Structure 1
Amino acid sequence: MRIKFLFFLLFLPVFLFAQEVPLSGDARISVLTCGIGNEVYSLFGHTAIRIQDPQTHLDVVYNYGAFDFEAPNFILRFSKGDLQYFVTAENFDDFMYQYYYEKRSVYEQELYLSEEQKQQVFETLNETLSSDARYYTYKFIDRNCTNMAVDLLNGILGGKVIRKTGNTAVTYRETLYPYFNSHFYEQLGTSIIFGTKVDQKATLLFLPVELQNSLAVTNYKGAPIASTGRMLLNYSHQKTPFSPLNNGWTFLLLLILIVVINRYTVAMVYFGIIGAIGLFFSVAGFYSYHEELAWNYNALLFNPALLLLIWFYLRRNAKWTYYTAVFCIATIGIYLLVMIGKIHIFIVAPVVMANLILLGRFAMKAQSGFERIKA
């Protein structure tokens, strides 16, 4: 709270000044595209809007996408999809220091706007900051730091001038998947938590680098909308150091051990985790406002019915243990049909194999009346 209060005092004069004094004819407005980092929050980069006016010594960067970790019920509201994100503003030098510290590139493209349009952008951002409009409900694809900036600019330009100009034949899932290279569990997690929405064609401009590329080729009233651009900070992306835990080989070894150990207690713990994940997928699809989580066919593999399998096994109910195991095997067959052509089929393949082998064992043991079962 103290930090927030100091932040408010620090920028109060800037905000008041910004709202009372118009921009001069030398003012410039630019889009800043920030490079990707190795932390989860920085894997996709960032988009910001810079407004500078040498006549009034104004140099402010506006950011969409901030949120408060101390918000009440943060985890529940984040998973539900009604956590309020908000717009912030900060001094340009402070903004740049953060990316200098993180060794992430910053690329600037000045927008060729009229003085009236610049003033509109300036006033709109400051009005947003000083009202409840600064809060908005975040959507991973539809309302993030990039397309919120695009919507603002297109509103001033009077139409969908800035739009995606890259490859629209690929899906959102295919677009996102490479961003998680060298981050195995993040790649696996996002592969299985997203439902059918991310399998749609990626026609919406939603990533920072896509906006950078689109601005480079977009024309407005017969002329380029933005300058060629310049690097303010130039760092080559540092690959994530190899982690003995966060990699596919360790995950594969773990699954092999679960299968080779051939202990039903171990298998039940494994199925308990897989089933709980599937139950979350099923509930989140109805509970959450995140459209990306809806209709998640990965629940056919991470099947909540595995929890019933454990229950029937512990109750020594051979009949329903067998039926449930066969049902789960059948859903995996359906899952494999759904997964044809999906980019994440290989990352879930070890889970498919482990589930089939373990379910086969449960079915055969149940069929034999639970004889010769290893605890």
Structure 2
Amino acid sequence: MKKLYFYLFLFFSLHSFGQSTTLSENSKVSVLTIGTGNASHELYGHTGIRIKDSKNGIDIVYNYGFFDFNTPYFVAKFVKGDMKYFVSTQRYMDFEYSYILDNRSIYEQEIDLSLDQKNTLYKNLNASLFSDDKYYTYKFIDRNCTTKVIDKLNDVLVNDSITTNKPVEISYRDILNINYLDHDYFTKLGINLIFGEKVDRLAETLFLPLELHHVLKTKTYKGKPLVTNTKTVFEAQKTDFKSSLLNSPYLIILILALIVLINNKKVTSFYFSVIALIGVFLCLVGLYSFHEEVLWNYNALLFNPLLLVFVFTMYKRSAKTIITWGKINLVCLIAHFLLIINKVDLMLFLPFTVAHFILITRIIMKCKKSMGNG
């Protein structure tokens, strides 16, 4: 019971302090950008807002990137798109130390705001801690730790919002592939496989930490640079990337080549069954999830659920039926190729396209030959 009283006292004390404290003229507001990490949730960096006021003894970071791994049905909620993230605060020194310990770069950009703007921002940030705004439903592009920081800043940057540099000539998929996924082939393959049509749109939304960092470098406000000072707090030590056959497209090419060269009915059937089940997963996730990024996933034309029907006909139906379903799958295969022919993920999926085309065409030609002999 004593602990309960203590935490209640601490909660209301912090709330009262945050609401009543007025920042001094010497206060500073800065955007903290964290570099990429190795874990899946660290691939694209992180963003926070630092409020520092030595006169009032304030030096805290508002962090919109918290989530609870112990949330019931965590994976299901994350996949569905109703996973709750929340804002919390950390002492700046704790924030800095944790990322240095993880060998992740830290960049700080001081924002040129008036005292009134600083106090309004400070008030709004504190209000987020003690209201329904504390929690938000995470969306990969539209609502994350970076977009939340941008929203808070734009609330005080009247009529001159922080946005992407115009004109926008690059898609979300381009940004993800070119800047972030070079050294991990299977992560790159998985991310491109799961994402659908939305990530091929022009990247109108500023949604990644390092992209925000670049935009702020040239952003002006009322005719002056918005950022008055940029500092590299910590530069991560570069780790030597060692290429590996087990994490490269060559492994996939080798496996596909073996499947084609072996030319065995059971091997081909097993392979197509696995591919089809991946396609079923893509379709079900698109129907189940609230994440718009996984809707209308044309990769289901390559990892095609209809391959299950094709495999079934190979064992249970006439040559004519096999040819019909083979042609249907070939049409889907060609449609997928045409959809990605000018996209950044073309070479990623091309080995699958070539292998599927050879395997299906060979089965069709074999059936036609058997019909001719008959």
Is TM (by shorter chain) over 0.5? yes
Q: CA deviation at 1:58?
A: 1.6
Contact residue 137 and residue 143 of structure 2 kept, 8 A: yes
Give the SS at the match of 1:229. Answer: strand
Corresponding letter in the other structure for 2:284: V
Q: Which residue number in structure 2 is paired with residue 162 of structure 1? A: 162
Q: Which residue number in structure 2 is paired with residue 62 of structure 1? A: 62
Identical aligned residues as a percent? 40
Q: Which residue number in structure 2 is paired with residue 42 of structure 1? A: 42
Corresponding letter in the other structure for 1:109: Q
Q: Which residue number in structure 1 is paired with residue 3 of structure 2? A: none
Give the SS at the match of 1:49. Answer: strand
Distance 2:360 2:333 in 1: 11
Q: CA deviation at 1:115?
A: 1.6
Q: Which residue number in structure 2 is paired with residue 188 of structure 1? A: 189
Contact residue 33 and residue 45 of structure 2 kept, 8 A: yes
Q: CA deviation at 1:292?
A: 1.2
Contact residue 108 and residue 232 of structure 1 kept, 8 A: yes
Give the SS at the match of 1:191. Answer: helix
Q: Which residue number in structure 1 is paired with residue 267 of structure 2? A: 266
Q: Which residue number in structure 2 is paired with residue 123 of structure 1? A: 123
Deviations 1:66-117 (CA, angstroms, capped at 9, x unpaired): 2222222222221121111211211111111121112121111111112221
Worse-matched range after superposition: 347-356 or 119-128: 119-128
**1:189–1:9: structure 2 CA closer, same or farther, 3 Å change rule?**
farther
Q: Which residue number in structure 2 is paired with residue 218 of structure 1? A: 219
Q: Which residue number in structure 2 is paired with residue 286 of structure 1? A: 287
Distance 2:181 2:359 in 1: 29
Q: CA RMSD for the aligned pairs?
A: 2.5
Distance 1:74 1:368 in 2: 53
Contact residue 18 and residue 126 of structure 1 kept, 8 A: yes
Contact residue 63 and residue 89 of structure 1 kept, 8 A: yes
**1:150–1:288: structure 2 CA closer, same or farther, 3 Å change rule?**
same
Q: Which residue number in structure 2 is paired with residue 92 of structure 1? A: 92
Contact residue 271 and residue 307 of structure 1 kept, 8 A: yes
Q: Which residue number in structure 2 is paired with residue 373 of structure 1? A: none
Give the SS at the match of 1:72. Answer: coil
**1:9–1:176: structure 2 CA closer, same or farther, 3 Å change rule?**
farther
**1:166–1:33: structure 2 CA closer, same or farther, 3 Å change rule?**
farther
Give the SS at the match of 1:121. Answer: helix
Distance 1:190 1:324 in 2: 29
Q: Which residue number in structure 2 is paired with residue 363 of structure 1? A: 364
TM-score, with structure 1 as normaliser:
0.90
**1:237–1:139: structure 2 CA closer, same or farther, 3 Å change rule?**
farther
Question: How do 1:254-333 and structure 2 match up within 5 A?
Answer: 254-333=255-334
Q: CA deviation at 1:309?
A: 1.6
Contact residue 65 and residue 138 of structure 1 kept, 8 A: no
Deviations 1:39-62 (CA, angstroms, capped at 9, x unpaired): 322221111111111112221111
Distance 2:56 2:295 in 1: 49
Q: CA deviation at 1:174?
A: 1.0
**1:19–1:308: structure 2 CA closer, same or farther, 3 Å change rule?**
same
**1:276–1:223: structure 2 CA closer, same or farther, 3 Å change rule?**
same
Distance 2:326 2:199 in 1: 30
Corresponding letter in the other structure for 2:311: I
Equivalent pairs, count = 366
Contact residue 34 and residue 107 of structure 1 kept, 8 A: yes
Q: Which residue number in structure 2 is paired with residue 352 of structure 1? A: 353
Does structure 1 residue 249 correspond to structure 2 residue 250? yes
Worse-matched range after superposition: 93-102 or 344-353: 93-102
Distance 2:225 2:125 in 1: 23
Corresponding letter in the other structure for 1:163: T
Give the SS at the match of 2:350. Answer: helix
Contact residue 46 and residue 65 of structure 2 kept, 8 A: no
Contact residue 160 and residue 221 of structure 2 kept, 8 A: no
Worse-matched range after superposition: 317-326 or 217-226: 317-326
Worse-matched range after superposition: 46-55 or 64-73: 64-73
Does structure 1 residue 28 correspond to structure 2 residue 32? no
Corresponding letter in the other structure for 2:54: P
Worse-matched range after superposition: 74-83 or 342-351: 74-83
- Uncovered stretches (5+) of structure 1, i.e. residues with no partner: 1-5, 371-375
**1:363–1:13: structure 2 CA closer, same or farther, 3 Å change rule?**
farther
- Uncovered stretches (5+) of structure 2, i.e. residues with no partner: 1-5
Does structure 1 residue 144 correspond to structure 2 residue 166? no
Distance 1:198 1:147 in 2: 16
**1:40–1:12: structure 2 CA closer, same or farther, 3 Å change rule?**
farther
Worse-matched range after superposition: 358-367 or 39-48: 358-367
Distance 1:27 1:348 in 2: 52
Corresponding letter in the other structure for 1:329: L
**1:254–1:8: structure 2 CA closer, same or farther, 3 Å change rule?**
farther
Deviations 1:126-179 (CA, angstroms, capped at 9, x unpaired): 211122211111111111211211111101222342111266111111111121
Corresponding letter in the other structure for 1:321: I
Distance 2:263 2:63 in 1: 53
**1:161–1:27: structure 2 CA closer, same or farther, 3 Å change rule?**
same
TM-score, with structure 2 as normaliser:
0.90
